Amino acid sequence: MSPRLGTLDLVPALDRLDLLADPVAAARGTLGQAADEAWVCAIDPALADTAAFAEAYEVPLEASANCVVVLGRRAGEERAAACVVRADTRADVNGAIRRRLDVRKLSFAPTEWATETTGMEYGGITPVGAPKGWPVLVDERAAALEWALIGSGIRGSKLVLPGALLAALPSVEVAAYAL
């Protein structure tokens, strides 16, 4: 039985791979049998941004998780990560995340770079299918969600999976990464 989140019509993600960006669909194998616990729904792409989405689909902010891409340098080496925090919090970019990546200065990655590097649309970037080698830093509050509503890699849909499954994705490190 599908989870119930606001007014969303959720269907098994494996039945609607067309609602997932290519890197997300390709990553379904990394979920193993837990892929059966992933759900997806079509949404109006104009409502993909968190606040508009939450209001239009009656989903509480604390049930949604945002994924941001950060970028820093150390000794000429570029260091990127996907960071996932609940939508009612902010990523601790200048604290815990900067220290974890061991960079002096860290910032949100430029939009064009992030979309090109991930193969996902801005406003839909998700930790599922993040580039190999990137750490996926998941805040403990996002990992503790019963159902985490995240991007699907495109603006026209959302992915829903158990917080425990989010925490078990490849390259995930769960810690206090939000303010």
Model pLDDT for residues 136-154, shown as the tens digit of each residue: 999 999 999 999 999 999 9
Strand order in the sheet with 39-42: 11-12, 39-42, 157-162, 147-151
Percent over 90 (pLDDT), the chain = 90
Using alpha carbons only, give the angle 14, 150, 9 rounded to the nearest 5 degrees: 60
pLDDT at 35: 75
Strands 147-151 and 157-162 turn out to be: antiparallel
Report the SS3 class of residue 44. Answer: coil
R_g of the chain, CA atoms, integer Å? 15
Average pLDDT, the chain: 94
pLDDT single digits (tens) 84-133? 999 999 999 999 999 999 999 999 999 999 999 999 999 999 999 999 99
pLDDT at 28: 81
Give percent helix, percent strand, percent coil of the chain, each to the nearest 5: 35, 30, 35
pLDDT single digits (tens) 5-26? 999 999 999 999 999 999 999 9
**Hey, CA dihedral for 145, 124, 28, 16, is it positive or negative?**
positive
- Tell me the sheet residues that pair with 151: 158
At 55, which helix (H) or strand (E)? helix 50-57
Fold observed for domain 11-175: YbaK protein (3.90.960)
pLDDT at 8: 97
pLDDT single digits (tens) 50-75? 999 999 999 999 999 999 999 999 98
Count Cα atoms within 13 angstroms, Cβ side, for 84.
33
Dmax (CA) for the chain in angstroms is 50
**What tokens appear for 61 in the block?**
């902010």
| pTM of model > 0.75 | yes
pLDDT at 32: 67
